[in-house]
Amino acid sequence: MKAIRFSPRFAIALIPAVFATTLGASAVAGEYDAIKTAAGAEFFDKECHRCHSVDADRASYGPLLTGVIGRKAGSFEGYPYSEALKSANFTWTAGAIRAWMEDNDGLVPGTKMRHVGVDDATVQDFIVTYLASISE
């Protein structure tokens, strides 16, 4: 049997193939994000929208959530927060939002947001992806 020898020509032929695969993977990742964002928007409508606007022109019972990821907790200008959230000293990250959805009064005792108890990690993931898409 003939040994398979490394051929530089073969390696060169491989480069475009590897490149195409990488591009394909990132296109799929982008597609996954789009699907997660769309699913997150549905879950947000079901679980959060009745109290939270994502439109700066529309007042809502809860604070506006556009731009919430990366924002300091209790800091949206003009919103009447509870003392508890106003004095909570942290910034909203994906992880903090997950913990909040699961057990908001456990994370910030004394908050006036009613307990929503979204404890399904997949649903949390979708809602976080959606909130990230409106936080850019």
Name the site residues for ligand HEC (rule: CB under 6 A): 47-48, 50-52, 61-63, 65, 68, 73-74, 76, 81-82, 84-85, 92, 97, 100-101, 111-114, 116, 118, 127
3-state SS of the chain is CCCCCCCHHHHHHHHHHHHHHHHHHHHHHHHHHHHHHHHHHHHHHHHCCCCCCCCCCCCCCCCCCCCCCCCECCCCCCCCCCHHHHCCCCECCHHHHHHHHHHHHHHCCCCCCCCCCCCCHHHHHHHHHHHHHCCC
**Among residues 33 and 135, whose Cβ is nearest to ligand HEC?**
135
Q: How far is the CB of 22 from ligand HEC (least distance, A)?
A: 34
**Among residues 33 and 76, whose Cβ is nearest to ligand HEC?**
76
Q: How far is the CB of 27 from ligand HEC (least distance, A)?
A: 29
